[in-house]
Amino acid sequence: MRRVNLDSMASSRNSRLYAGMAAEERQAERRLRLIQAAIEVYGEVGYRNATVKAVCEAAELTERYFYESFANSEALLIAAYMHVCDTLHADMAAAADACAGDPEARMTAALTLYFTRLREHPRPARVFLLEISGISPAVDAVKLTVSRTFSEILVPPPDIAPHADRGQNLLSTGMVGAVISIALRWVSKGYPQPVEEIVAATAAFCRVALSGHSHRGKV
């Protein structure tokens, strides 16, 4: 009849401790291991050539634990994608917000951090620039959300956001597309140019979106 230990800490509810961790913690750790393994494997062979088995082996876990945390391969892809983007965007936002008030400096700071990271971590970069396209509607939806965040870090919308910013969305889309394309080329060619040059080229496209905010009387 449920002899629950009331004396111990609340976190170890009704689960046995293994390796000093509660069931939830162990599962969370496995999940994270799978995500990190996925980033490695996807970076090596690409998402569509990566098998569940290969990811599990890289994570040193068995398939059983794959299905414990993810419904299917696609779910892992989305989780891995968001994992990468979330941390990247958080850092970009921090770098950008340090330059509050100066849109040009903000852009440059965020872009510099972005491309520096891409060069430091080629595998995640490869995957999440190249392989993320056209997998499925669910993935595309995630990608859309992510690129919106990306765009708002680079060029934050005016505080008093106009109800329908139709033209602005087009410019944001184009800006993100330009940055991603340049990044993709840079990565796949093995980083031939220095970061500064890439930042300068992408900044030129970001300025298009930036100046779009001011030309608002026309619509």
The residues binding DNA (CB under 7 A) are 5, 15-20, 23, 26, 49-53, 60-65, 67, 72-73
Q: Is 55 in the site for a second copy (CB under 8 A)?
A: no
Binding mask 10-49 for a second copy (x = CB under 8 A): ------------------------------------xxx-
CB of 194 to DNA, least distance (A): 39
Instruction: For the CB of residue 124, give the shortest distance to a second copy in the complex, in Å.
Output: 15
Residue type, 199: V
Count of residues for the chain?
A: 219
**Bridge partner list, 18:** 21
What does the block give as tokens for 103?
Answer: 């849109």
Strands (E) across the chain are located at: none
Could you tell which of a second copy, DNA, none binds residue 34, using a CB distance below 5 to 8 A set by kind? none
> Among all chains, which residue has been given the structure tokens 């993935």?
139
In angstroms, the Cα distances linking 198 to 57, 64, 86, 135, 148 are 37, 44, 22, 28, 21
SS3 21: strand
Q: Which residues bind a second copy (CB under 8 A)?
A: 46-48, 130-135, 140, 166-167, 169-171, 173-182, 184-186, 193, 197-198, 201-202, 204-205, 207-208, 212
